[in-house]
């Protein structure tokens, strides 16, 4: 069975600074996706960034980037130039990938509550 662990229940960062959220996972699968999802207060969950396990290059999306260490089973999220709107719960998630490209369910960590302070 796969597990996802987020060891930082809460973090805070000053506006415009950089923050890194940690995530580790455990799996025996070789073909999978990793995701970071953002859940703002009282709003729906949205995808921040995704990483395919077979790609060595770390994914980036504007101010968001990941450090994917497959051997260490580590998948951290770096947010640069933090903005007040980044305040949210951040969930790391794992999905096994089938060779046909079909998708399975997401396995989430417990989340990290990020507060961006002005």
Partner 1 sequence: DTGVSQNPRHKITKRGQNVTFRCDPISEHNRLYWYRQTLGQGPEFLTYFQNEAQLEKSRLLSDRFSAERPKGSFSTLEIQRTEQGDSAMYLCASSYLIDDRGEQYFGPGTRLTVT
81: left (phi over 0), alpha (psi -120 to 50) or beta: left
- Taking the least distance from each CB to partner 1, the nearer of 7 and 14 is 7
d(CA 99, CA 116): 40
Compare residues 42 and 56 and give the one whose CB is closer to partner 1.
42
* In the complex, minimum distance from the CB of residue 82 to partner 1, in angstroms, rounded to a whole number: 22
d(CA 109, CA 111): 5
Measured from the CB atom, is 101 or 118 closer to partner 1? 101
How far is CA 23 from its chain centroid?
Answer: 7
DSSP-derived pairing of the beta strands 64-69 and 60-61: antiparallel
Please give the residue ranges that form the binding site for partner 1 (CB under 8 A). 4, 33, 35, 37, 43-47, 50, 52, 91, 93, 95, 97, 101-111
The HSE-up count of residue 81 (CA atoms within 13 Å, CB side) is 4
State in angstroms the smallest separation of the CB of 35 from partner 1. Answer: 7
Q: Nearest distance from residue 104's CB to partner 1, in Å?
A: 8
Residue 93 CB, nearest approach to partner 1 (Å): 8
């Amino acid at each position: 069975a796969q597990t996802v662990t987020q060891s930082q229940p809460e973090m805070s960062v000053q506006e415009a600074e950089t923050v890194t959220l940690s995530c580790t996972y455990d799996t025996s699968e070789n073909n999978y996706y990793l995701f970071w999802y953002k859940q703002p207060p009282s709003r729906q969950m949205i995808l921040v960034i995704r990483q395919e396990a077979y790609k060595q290059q770390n994914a980036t999306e504007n101010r968001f980037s990941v450090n994917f260490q497959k051997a260490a089973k580590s998948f951290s999220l770096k947010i640069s130039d933090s903005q007040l709107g980044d305040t949210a719960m951040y969930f790391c998630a794992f999905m096994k990938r089938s060779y046909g490209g079909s998708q399975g369910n997401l396995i989430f960590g417990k989340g990290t509550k990020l507060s961006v302070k002005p």
